[in-house]
Amino acid sequence: MFRITVTGGKGGTGKSFVAVNLALLLAKHFRTVLVDLDLEAPNDHILLSIDKLENEEPIKLFLPFINTSKCTKCGVCAKVCDTGAILLPGGAYPIIFPRLCSGCKACYYACPYNAIIEGYHVLGYVYRTSIIIENTELTLVTGVLREGEEHVPPGVNYTRKKAEEIETDILLMDTGAGTGNQISIALKNVDLTIIVTEPTPLGIHDMSNVLKITNEMGIRTWTIINKSSIGDTSKIYEISNKYNVEKIYEIPYHRDVVSSYVERKPIVVKYKNSPITRVFNEVAQSIMELVRSNGK
């Protein structure tokens, strides 16, 4: 399985735009799974004109319960809890604060009396939807966090795990904005990272943050400069070279992109001769060469 992650740091640079269009091009030649790891605001399905996500499965996160017949009120669970989700009031049994619990299971393993019962709470849902666009089949795995949930990384982890279970040639992961923990989960053990940025101060700043991570992790990295015609791209080239970026592509600001957005039809399907589609074809071609050579 060849794993690709599309990320970029700044929101609104076009990560989902790139991921969706590349997935459709790759799916013509390889079995492809697109994974929407932006659990707080998943929207690849919107770009793909999917109105109803299918095959719902809950994302379960460990939540401790206290077996009061075994508990000795020793307080070990409260001491090891990294998020301060367990309180040991004087003389009473431990109290769990579910909203604070990150499901790390430290209390479960630390309890010397096996008094922690393994429970769970539902963090969100994973969906698996298959679509066919122009005789090309594409599988979309989407993770959705429930409203009010604070713990994103375990949800991202679970969604990726579910997607990894599917037998496929290419796993294309689309991350949310930011450079935090949930992004690094999507960067673990991948063959290629595509950083989508734009020539704006925020785009450049966040791109260099992501590049620091990918460079540190030793991941093969390409950059796509989206809306490249709206600003000065020289700084992006400079930083990309500094962090060993292998390839840089430019997607100019173009009317076709906007109208494909409005019509909910991915640009590679709607405007086959657009200059934007040409760039995507070029990127997809390079990816396929890599896949065929097993990433060498």
Partner 1 sequence: MKIAITTNKGGLDDQIADRFGRAPTFTIVELDDNTLEIKNVYVVENPGSKAGSGAGVRAVQKLADEKVNIVIGPNPGPNAYIALQQSGIRIYAMTGMSAKEALKRVIEELKKK
Amino acid code (one letter) for 84: G
Question: Does 65 sit near partner 1 (CB under 8 A)?
Answer: no
Q: How big is the site for partner 1, counted in residues (CB under 8 A)?
A: 16
Q: In the stretch 68-107, what mask flags binding to partner 1 with x, by CB under 8 A?
A: ----------x--xxxxxxxxxx-x--x-x-xx-------
Distance of CA 263 to the CA centre of its chain: 25
In the bound state with partner 1, the residue whose beta carbon lies nearer, of 85 and 207, is 85
Residue ranges with strand state E in 134-253? 136-145, 170-175, 192-197, 221-226, 247-251
Distance CA 289, CA 287 (A): 5
Q: Tell me how far apart the alpha carbons of residues 76 and 93 are, in angstroms, rounded to a whole number.
A: 12
Q: Which of 108, 114, 118 is nearest to 81 (CA)?
A: 108
User: Locate tokens 């990150």: which residue?
Assistant: 102
Q: Does 11 bind partner 1 (CB under 8 A)?
A: no
> Least separation, in Å, of the C-beta of 104 and partner 1?
12
Q: Residue 267 is encoded by which pair of tokens?
A: 């640009």
Shortest distance in whole angstroms from residue 87 CB to partner 1: 5
Nearest approach, Cβ of 92 to partner 1 (angstroms)?
Answer: 7
Nearer to partner 1, 86 or 183 (CB): 86
Cβ proximity to partner 1, 47 vs 107, nearer residue: 107
- Nearest alpha carbon to residue 274 among 290, 254, 292: 254
Residue 110 near partner 1 by CB under 8 A: no
Q: Which residues bind partner 1 (CB under 8 A)?
A: 78, 81-90, 92, 95, 97, 99-100
